[in-house]
Amino acid sequence: MSVEFRSGFVCFVGRPNTGKSTLTNALVGQKVAITSNRPQTTRHTIRGIVHRENFQIVLVDTPGLHRPRTLLGKRLNELVKDTYSEVDVIGFCIPADEGIGPGDRWIFEQICAVAPRTTLIVVVTKTDKVSREKVAEQLVAVQEEFGAKAADIVPVSATAGQQIDVLTDVLVSHLEPGPAFYPDGELTDEPEEVLMAELIREAALEGVRDELPHSLAVVIDEVEEREGRPDDDPLLDVRAILYVERDSQKGIVIGKGGARLREVGTAARHQIEKLLGTKVFLELRVKVAKNWQRDPKQLGRLGF
C-alpha cells in the first residue's frame, strides 16, 4: 500500500536569535538561510525545500517579529504577519537556555490574533546548550504557557542534529495530502543574487559587536562570466555594494587599511563558490546611504 504524498508550507517564528535560520538549514541539509548571532539578520523570506519520497515541506524563513522602531522594522513585521496567515504550520521557537519572557508571550498573542486557525507547534531549540533536567523544565513551562494552543511540542538541537528527524515527522503529520510544489533537487526558490547578497551580509556582520545591527544592506551590482576563460575553468565576476547609514560605520566595515573588508570578501567568496559550484572573483565596495532604514525611497531601492 503506497503512502499518500503530503506537502505544505511551514514557517518558524520567534524572538530574534532563537535559532530559526539554523533550524531551516538543518532541515534542508544545506545553507539556504543566513545565520548570525545578531538579532534580525534575516531580511528576506527565504524558502528552503525539504523533499523526500512521500512528502515535501517548503520552509519559509522570516525575520524575527519584534516591536518596530523604524520604517524597516514595520515592513519586516508586515512581511512576517502576511506569512503567518498563508502557511499550513507555524513552528514557534523557544530556546531551551532562556526563560519564557514578555517577548515570547507577545509573539504568541500575535500568532493567535493573525492566524488563529493555523496549526501551531512549539519547537524548543538549542537543547544542546543545557542539561536534560533544564530541557525537561523548559518543556513543562512551555506546556503551561502555550500548551492549550499547541498541537505538538518538540525539543531539538539544530547545531547538534538532535531530534531533527522527529521534528520533520511531526511537521509532515500536520500537512494535507497534496502535490510537490517544487521539482526534486531544488533547495530554495530564492534567486541566486539574493542568496549571494545575504551571504555577504552574514560575513560582514560576523564578529562586529553592536556597531552594525540593522544598518547594513547589500546589493549585488553586477554578475558576469569572465571572458576568455577555458570552458572547464570558468570564473564569475561578482560586484557588490555594502550600504551603511553613517561614515563611522563605513570605517568599521572597511577596517584598518581595508583589512576587515578583505576578510569579509574572503569568507563570503568561499560561501558563494559553494553555493554556485564555480570559482568567483568578488569585489566589494562600501557606500553610505544616510538613514536608509527610515527613508521609503531608499528602502525601495535596497529591496525592502
Report the binding-site residues. 14-21, 61-65, 125-128
| Cβ-based neighbour number of residue 97 at 10 Å | 13
Query: How far apart, in whole angstroms, are the C-alpha atoms of residue 263 and residue 81?
Result: 36
Calculate helix-pair angle for 259-276, 247-254, nearest 10 degrees: 70
Instruction: Record the cell numbers describing residue 32, joined without a space.
Output: 539556504
| Cβ-based neighbour number of residue 32 at 10 Å | 23
List binding-site positions for GTP: 14-21, 61-65, 125-128
**Local structure of 93: helix, strand or coil:** strand
C-alpha 34 chain-centroid distance: 5
CA nearest 141: which of 169, 122, 126? 122
Residues present in the chain in total? 304
Instruction: Record the cell numbers describing residue 48, joined without a space.
Output: 528552503
Q: Which residues, including other chains, have CB under 8 Å from residue 102's CB and lie 6 or more apart?
A: none
Instruction: Record the cell numbers describing residue 27, joined without a space.
Output: 532541515
Query: How far apart, in whole angstroms, are the C-alpha atoms of residue 301 and residue 304?
Result: 7
Place of cell 538543518: 26
